Amino acid sequence: MSPARRLLVASHNPAKAGEIAQILRNEGLEFAVLSLEEFPHIALPPESGSTFPANAAAKARYAAETAGLPALADDSGLEVDALDGEPGVRSARYLGESATDDEVREAYRRLAREHHPDTKRTARTRERAEKRMRELNEAYSFLTQRRAA
């Protein structure tokens, strides 16, 4: 398969690459979707952006430049209403680099119980399948325009 038909997902999570590969196949697009597991020498830059799109763009740009392949990335996080939208883009680091997903979830539950009534115990994840599909469509448009040039 030629490099133009390969797509790098800037993530060390092979399941995420598999999910994106399936979305592309469902759209009739055949790409060899790779994850950073296949590029162990690539360490992503710190997530220093102030928005999810800024972090995703930085990861994708760095992975593309380093691997020499078209790349896409996502960034997601939890916005807890009881915490006025925190931790947002800092979700992964809110309790420290070594915190497990279960520890993070329990901390959010405890904070919500202690500081807010039941009516404000809501939250949302700011990464959705529709957003990911939009990003994939944009990446595909970019790739097809590049091939035509």
Active-site residue numbers? 75
Helices (H) and strands (E) in the chain, counts: 4, 6
125 CB-side CA count, 13 A: 10
Query: Which pair of tokens denotes residue 16?
Result: 């995420």
| N residues, the chain | 149
Q: Where are the beta strands (DSSP E) in 1-149?
A: 6-9, 32-35, 71-72, 78-80, 86-87, 123-125
Instruction: Dig out the tokens for 145 from the structure.
Output: 């325009």
Which residues are CB-contacts of 83 (< 8 A; sequence separation ≥ 6)? 108, 111, 112
